[in-house]
Amino acid sequence: MSLNTVTLVGRAGRDPEVKYFESGSVVCKFAIAVDRRSKNRDEPDWFNLEMWGRTAEVAANYVRKGSLIGVSGSLKFDSWKDRATGADRTSPIIRVDRMELLGSKRDNEAGSSNSFADDEF
């Protein structure tokens, strides 16, 4: 048996980058910051996200820098050769299967309790 599941809640570090393909597929990529508690202060851990299909479209339309989101998916590694050195490189990416919109930083600062969730992903 094997298990590859990741669940995170954090804030978008930038607006999503969206790419549409001739085949009709759509991919959306951005990073989220998740606070890691430490004795002296909270430090963010950064995670690169990749979403496809309907989830990517929703992220493209509703997620902005500072938005609070919850995601679940699996960990994968992108691999490539560095053009300058020829060295093999890898980068961890969370392949998101499900996303929930939990509000934006502006919503929280204004004291609003509005939250968005879409269980259809």
Give the closest residue to 25 by CA, choosing from 55, 47, 46.
Answer: 55
Per-residue pLDDT reduced to its tens digit, 90-108: 999 999 999 999 975 555 5
Domains in the chain (CATH in brackets) are 6-108 (2.40.50.140)
pLDDT tens per residue, range 30-54 = 999 998 877 777 789 999 999 999 9
Residue identified by tokens 């969206």 is 18
Write the CA distances from 51 to 16, 27, 40, 111, integer angstroms: 10, 6, 34, 30
Q: Could you tell me if 49 and 94 are in contact, meaning their C-beta atoms sit under 8 angstroms apart?
A: yes
